[in-house]
Every structure is written in structure tokens, then in C-alpha cells.
Structure 1
Amino acid sequence: MAWDTDRTKRLLLEAATAEFCQFGLAGARVDRIAAAAGVNKERIYQYFGKKDLLFDAVVADILSKVVDEVRIEGSGPEALADYAGRLFDHHHEDATLPRLLFWEGLERGGYVVNRPDRAANCSNKVDSVIRAMPGTSREDAADLMLTIIALCDAWPVLPELDGLMAGKEPSRVERRRKAIVMTVLSAARGLAQEAGIA
């Protein structure tokens, strides 16, 4: 019976994603990843090489799946606020990407896997802000997009800080989403006024 290489790689990527999300690069264990995938750990080295290369493969895999799942729709400050709300919803439902990017930033410093592709994607995101709010400078559009990402990514990465500051009432998710949307709406309206488009 032939070995199903694609299936094995998929199982390893799924197990590694869960492991890296929980423990980061330094804390992840190759033996736990292999056990969770039901595969001999030698397959990890055979298919991916060292643990840091497996981490890179996981980040690249997740980015390829979710990079364009949430897009800016419409125009004006309201479109940016709506985008922030939907991005928050996405990350609340699946915290994989924010958690992996958090670990990447902490443990890899200035190194990012697939830098040219990610730089192009970031440029496209800034372009989408400018399309939604014509007249906005590239620098202001980049700052607004970074603000949106930081606000939305913080929720799944800093849950205990949120709980300590705001409590853990059942309505907390809805309240946090509303706060993010209102913050982004206010910031976008401010930029629109500065650009003379409001």
C-alpha cells in the first residue's frame, strides 16, 4: 500500500497549527505534534525539516487560507468600521491567525516567512483603505489598517487582560466588538475630515 504523503503532510500541519497556537515556536514539541497527527516524528523532519521550518510552513498555510477571507466592502468611514467588526468576528470564531502572528512577532523578530507575498498583501490592504476613502494618504491608510488589525488581533491573544479590565460578563464579546467598531468609525471619520472627503 502506497504511503499517502499529502494526507500525512495535512495531518502534520493541522497538529502543528494547534501546537504552535498554544505553545509558540519555542514551547512547541515535535513529539507532541507527531503524536497528535498519529505519525512518526521522523516524517516531520523528512517533509518540513527543522521545527522552525515547520512553523514557517504552518504560518504560510494559514495565511494562504485566510488572507482574503475578510475584505473591505463599500466606501467611507462606515465601510472601515464594518470591516473592523467583521474582522473581529472572524478572529473571535477562529483565533489561529492572530495567535500564530503573535508568536511569530515575539519569537522571530524581524523575520517573516514569505516576506515578498506578505508585503504585497499588506500593500493591497492599504490600497483597499484608500479605495474606500479616496484622498487618504498612504501613511494614514496604513496607520488605520494597523489600528484595525491590532484591535481585532488583541482579543484572542490577550483574553485575560480583557477579563481583568472589563470582566467576563456574557455580553462582553458584543461590547468589545461595539467598542472596536466605534473606535474605527471615529478614527476613519477623523481621517476623512483631514482629507476633506467628509
Structure 2
Amino acid sequence: MAWNTEETRRRLKEAAVREFAATGLSGTRIESIAARAGINKERIYNYFGSKEKLFSLVLADELARIAAAVPLEMITSAGIGEFAGACFDYHVQHPELVRLLHWEALEFTERRVPDEDVRREHYQQKVAALAAAQRSGTLAAEPAAADAVFMILALCAWWVAVPQVARMIAGTPHPGAPEMAARRAAVALAAERMVVAPSPR
């Protein structure tokens, strides 16, 4: 029977996401990824070259997924509040992305990430979209577009990024649907208040 290369790659990347999210780049072992996927570890080297390249690839894939799930067009079509709310929803459903970014920060604090130029372009598209909305008057001119993008992304992710802090502040160790809906609404409201231009009186 022919070996299904694409299926093998998919299984290895899914296993890598979980392993890297749990233990980071330095803490993850190739053997652990292979064991989780049920595939010989040599195929990781054959397909991806190294653990570092695999980490960069799975993080790039996860960033592409959120970009597809929460497109930039939402900033103008649905409003900045709904864009922030949709980002919040995505992080709640896919907490691995925030964890991967945290591990990346620890590994690459003082050096460039492997695909930094591509990633920079990804984020600059968000900045440009928000800046265009500022120029059109849809959004307030301040804060600056880059600052606003960074703060909105932080708003969307921080509940998931530091659940222990959320537990201590909100007093809800196991938040249910009502609590999560309230958090989403608060994120959307904060994003709107941060950048939506006030209505003329």
C-alpha cells in the first residue's frame, strides 16, 4: 500500500502543535512528537528537516488559521468590536496558538524568529487596515494604528494566555458559558472604546 505523505505530514504537525504548546521548543523531543502521531521519528527529519523548522512551520500554520477565521475585512465590515470578539472566540477554542507564541517569545527574545519577514508582513497588513479605517474617519486617529493593533490582540488573547490570573481576578476557576460571553462582550466593548471615533454632536 502506498504511503500517504500528506496524511503523515498532517498527523505529525497536529502532534507537534500539542507537544510544542505543552513543553515549548527546547522542552519538546522529536521522539514525543513521533510517538503522539504514531509515526517513525525519521519521517520528521525527512519532511521537516529539524525540530526548529517544524516549530516555525506549525506556528505559521496556526497564525494562518486565525487569519482565515478572523479576516481583516471584519474591521470595516463588522466593526472593530466584532473583530475583537471573534479573535477572543478563536483563542478560547484554540488555546495552543497563545501558548506557542509564549514559547516562541522565550526562545527568541533577543533574536529574529526564523520567518520574521513573513510574519512582519502579516502584522503590518493588520496595521495598514486599521490605519486606513482611521484615515477614512471610521476609527479614531489615536492611538496610533500599530499601538491599537497590539493592544487589541492582547485584549483578545490575555484571558486565555494567563488563566491563573483570570481566575484570581474574576473569581471563576471554571467559567461557564455566561462568564465567557461576558468576557467576550467586555473585550469587544474595550476594543470599540479604544479606537471607535466618537459620534459628532
Common fold by TM > 0.5: yes
Cα displacement (A) at 1:137: 5.5
Structure 1 residues 66 and 185, CA gap change in structure 2 (3 angstroms): closer
Q: More deviation in 20-29 or 167-176?
A: 167-176
Q: Which TM-score applies when normalising by structure 1?
A: 0.85
Q: Is the Cα contact below 8 Å between 1:60 and 1:113 reproduced in 2? A: no
Q: Distance in 1 between matches of 2:108 and 2:47?
A: 21
Cα displacement (A) at 1:150: 0.8
Query: Which residue is 1:9 aligned to?
Result: 9
Cα displacement (A) at 1:84: 0.8
* Residue 153 (1) aligns with residue 157 (2): yes
1:74-153 alignment runs, 5 A limit: 75=76, 79-109=79-109, 110-134=111-135, 140-153=144-157
Cα displacement (A) at 1:115: 2.0
- Show CA shifts across 1:50-70 (max 9, x none): 221211121122223332321
Q: More deviation in 126-135 or 10-19?
A: 126-135
Q: Distance in 2 between matches of 1:133 and 1:197?
A: 16
Q: Distance in 2 between matches of 1:40 and 1:197?
A: 64
Cα displacement (A) at 1:97: 2.0
Moved over 3 A (4+): 135-139
Letter of the structure 2 residue corresponding to residue 176 of structure 1: R
Q: Distance in 2 between matches of 1:92 and 1:130?
A: 27
Task: Give the one of 179, 189, 195 matched to 1:172.
Answer: 179
Q: Is the Cα contact below 8 Å between 1:84 and 1:180 reproduced in 2? A: yes
- Show CA shifts across 1:123-178 (max 9, x none): 11012112333256697111111111111121222111101111224332122212
Letter of the structure 1 residue corresponding to residue 171 of structure 2: G
* Residue 162 (1) aligns with residue 166 (2): yes
Q: More deviation in 78-87 or 9-18?
A: 78-87
Structure 1 residues 138 and 51, CA gap change in structure 2 (3 angstroms): farther
Letter of the structure 2 residue corresponding to residue 161 of structure 1: V
Q: Is the Cα contact below 8 Å between 1:34 and 1:41 reproduced in 2? A: yes
Q: Distance in 1 between matches of 2:58 and 2:35?
A: 17
% of aligned pairs identical?
Answer: 37
Q: More deviation in 102-111 or 82-91?
A: 102-111
Structure 1 residues 54 and 35, CA gap change in structure 2 (3 angstroms): same
- Show CA shifts across 1:12-36 (max 9, x none): 1110011111111122122111011
* Residue 50 (1) aligns with residue 54 (2): no
Q: Is the Cα contact below 8 Å between 1:12 and 1:37 reproduced in 2? A: yes
Give the length in aligned residue pairs: 193
RMSD: 2.5
**Structure 2 unaligned blocks of 5 or more:** none
Q: Distance in 2 between matches of 1:138 and 1:178?
A: 22
Query: Which residue is 2:41 aligned to?
Result: 41
Q: Is the Cα contact below 8 Å between 2:66 and 2:90 reproduced in 1? A: no
